[in-house]
Amino acid sequence: MQIERKILLNPGPATTTDTVKMAQIVPDICPREKEFASMMKQMREDLVRIVHGSPDKYTSVLFCGSGTINIDVCLNSLLPEGKKILIVNNGAYSARAAEVCEYYHLPFINLRFPVDELPDLAQIETALKENPDIALVHTTHNETGTGILNPIREIGALVHKYHAVFTVDTTSTYAMRPINIEEDQIDFCMASAQKGLMAMTGLSFIVGNREIIKKSAEYPKRSYYCNLYLQYHFFETTGEMHFTPPVQTIYAARQAIREYFAEGEETKWQRHLSVFHAIHEGLDRLGFKDIIKRKWQAGLVVSVRYPDDANWDFEKIHDYCYDRGFTIYPGKISSQNTFRLCALGAITTEDIKNFFDIFEEALKKYEIKIPVQYND
């Protein structure tokens, strides 16, 4: 079967290989069969291995849902009674975590920083010192809305100095930018299969500290479907997800994990980086400006300012590229008009070169001045 190849430059779902797509075509199976459980057991171990966790200390727990389910699960499940959460918030995905706290009525401090700045470690330490009831600190590794890389190792060291638990949203770095869960001071990280793993949507997972999960059995149960301990316990005792798993998506994820290890952590990361650099080269050549200082960018997402040109119309440029097989994506910053080009997925620098040919054609067709102009 020939499947048309599309180049997705949006921040996930990512371009997948045909072998991952085809891995979904399997004989019908009831996921309560031993055959399926043994596949999930292997997958749980592999997901820990990707972040170099020791299998005794760390485990993984799978959920059926998009990546946001992980944020929901971690925050509602890992907060003891009478304690507080600290959200280190410099972007859209940490803001989402703050909303999760609001929806569950969890006591929390929303420690906000500008979206184009790194969080200030001194302010984080002050918050921890002044609020000894903070039991959980959450932040985002690569803020996908802007592409800024947060200093999780330094934040994590502070969190642990004050004996709190550190949950990190690594959805847009996991299986791309190398992570070492222990050295990076992470207690819980998370992702969905459609991003770094380059598999299908609908499967998400949390990798984290087994002892902390066990301890959380005594914490208030705030959700029926999204409780970390309940799902962990069900996996440990039966080998299965508590409720129906996304069967075909799991077959695709198994294939994607095989391809991940075949490509290799470092080779894959270098490929993403070379795509990222190719995106910068293309943008520089056309005069576009990005939002985040280059040295702070995580190497996966470029957030680009709209040019000051009366003819600029993102929708039109998007549609022109989309009709030719390339998907670009709007930004996620409320204060500035931006779009994003991302280096996720099974793509290469050749794809980026082809993209910029089309992108430049679009700019010319709609009479946008090249190099593009900014008023400041």
Ligand X SMILES: *Cc1c(COP(=O)(O)O)cnc(C)c1O
Return residues touching ligand X (CB under 6 A): 11-12, 66-68, 93, 140, 144, 169, 171-172, 192
Whichever of 171 and 231 has its CB closer to ligand X, that residue is: 171
Amino acid at 47: L
> How far apart are the C-alpha atoms of 60 and 43, rounded to whole Å?
9
Omega before residue 13 within 30° of 0, cis: yes
Whichever of 12 and 307 has its CB closer to ligand X, that residue is: 12
Least distance in angstroms from the C-beta of 71 to ligand X: 6
Find out whether 229 and 216 touch, Cβ atoms under 8 Å: yes
Least distance in angstroms from the C-beta of 295 to ligand X: 20
Residue that is written with structure tokens 């502070």 in the block: 158
> Which residues 6+ apart lie within 8 Å of 40 measured at CB?
62, 235, 239, 240, 241, 245, 250
Whichever of 16 and 144 has its CB closer to ligand X, that residue is: 144
Whichever of 94 and 185 has its CB closer to ligand X, that residue is: 94
Least distance in angstroms from the C-beta of 172 to ligand X: 4
Whichever of 66 and 274 has its CB closer to ligand X, that residue is: 66
Whichever of 172 and 185 has its CB closer to ligand X, that residue is: 172
Least distance in angstroms from the C-beta of 173 to ligand X: 8
Distance of CA 22 to the CA centre of its chain: 24
Phi first, then psi, for residue 318 (nearest 5°) are -55, -50
Least distance in angstroms from the C-beta of 165 to ligand X: 18
DSSP 310-350: TT--HHHHHHHHHHTTEE-EE---SSS-EEEEE--SS--HH
Least distance in angstroms from the C-beta of 20 to ligand X: 18
Whichever of 170 and 363 has its CB closer to ligand X, that residue is: 170
Q: Where are the beta strands (DSSP E) in 80-209?
A: 84-89, 108-112, 134-140, 142-143, 148-149, 165-169, 188-192, 203-209
Alpha-carbon distances of 343 from 16, 46, 176, 234, 250, rounded to whole Å:
13, 23, 10, 36, 24
Least distance in angstroms from the C-beta of 287 to ligand X: 28
Whichever of 12 and 119 has its CB closer to ligand X, that residue is: 12
Least distance in angstroms from the C-beta of 143 to ligand X: 7
Residue that is written with structure tokens 């199976």 in the block: 29
Whichever of 68 and 90 has its CB closer to ligand X, that residue is: 68
Residue number closest to ligand X, CB atom? 67
Least distance in angstroms from the C-beta of 69 to ligand X: 7
From 149, 150, 250, select the one nearest 194 (Cα to Cα).
250
Whichever of 65 and 307 has its CB closer to ligand X, that residue is: 65
Q: Where are the beta strands (DSSP E) in the chain?
A: 7-8, 58-64, 84-89, 108-112, 134-140, 142-143, 148-149, 165-169, 188-192, 203-209, 301-305, 326-327, 329-330, 338-342
Pairing outcome for strands 84-89 and 301-305: unpaired
Work out the number of other CB atoms within 10 angstroms of the CB of residue 375: 6
> Which residues 6+ apart lie within 8 Å of 291 measured at CB?
115, 116, 146, 147, 303, 304, 305, 333, 336, 338
Least distance in angstroms from the C-beta of 16 to ligand X: 15
